[in-house]
Amino acid sequence: MYSFRYSDPKLAGVIVKEAVRCGKRNCRCARGDLHRWYYYWYYRVPTAQGWKLKKEYVPKERVRALRRKIRAAKAQEHLYKAQMEEMRALLRAIEDQLRQLRRGSGSGR
């Protein structure tokens, strides 16, 4: 079924704060004292084989605004799912009423 967040798969992701290794042999991080803190955005994108996990660096000054945007998209997704569940419940109630009407009209012949 279609989901709101799939219009922009990145908005279904999360931002994670990580300590990282730079890869230089003589750096302090090679001895275990990692560089702190870098923010990365993890999200999934659709591919022909399914979904693929992606990682993207986020500058510190963009983190707050991006988290707000992700939170808003997830709230919209939650609202969409709640509305869909209400519609399903309404449809089930209508189907039940139709079944009862059919039973009632079938026995009167």
User: For residue 2, what pLDDT is reported?
Assistant: 39
Least confident range from 8-17, 26-35, 95-104: namely 8-17
Q: What are the start-end ranges of the H helices in the chain?
A: 60-107
Residue 13 burial (10 A CB sphere; 0-12, 13-18, 19+): buried
Domain count, the chain: 1
Residue 1 has pLDDT above 80, yes or no: no
Q: Which two tokens stand for residue 46?
A: 């659709």
Percent of the residues in the chain that have a pLDDT greater than 90, as a whole number: 56
Domain hosting 89: range is: 4-107
Kindly report, residue by residue over 45-91, the tens digit of the pLDDT. Answer: 888 998 889 999 999 999 999 999 989 888 888 898 899 999 999 99
How far CA 73 is from CA of 15, 24, 63, 67, 77, in Å, comes to 14, 39, 15, 10, 6
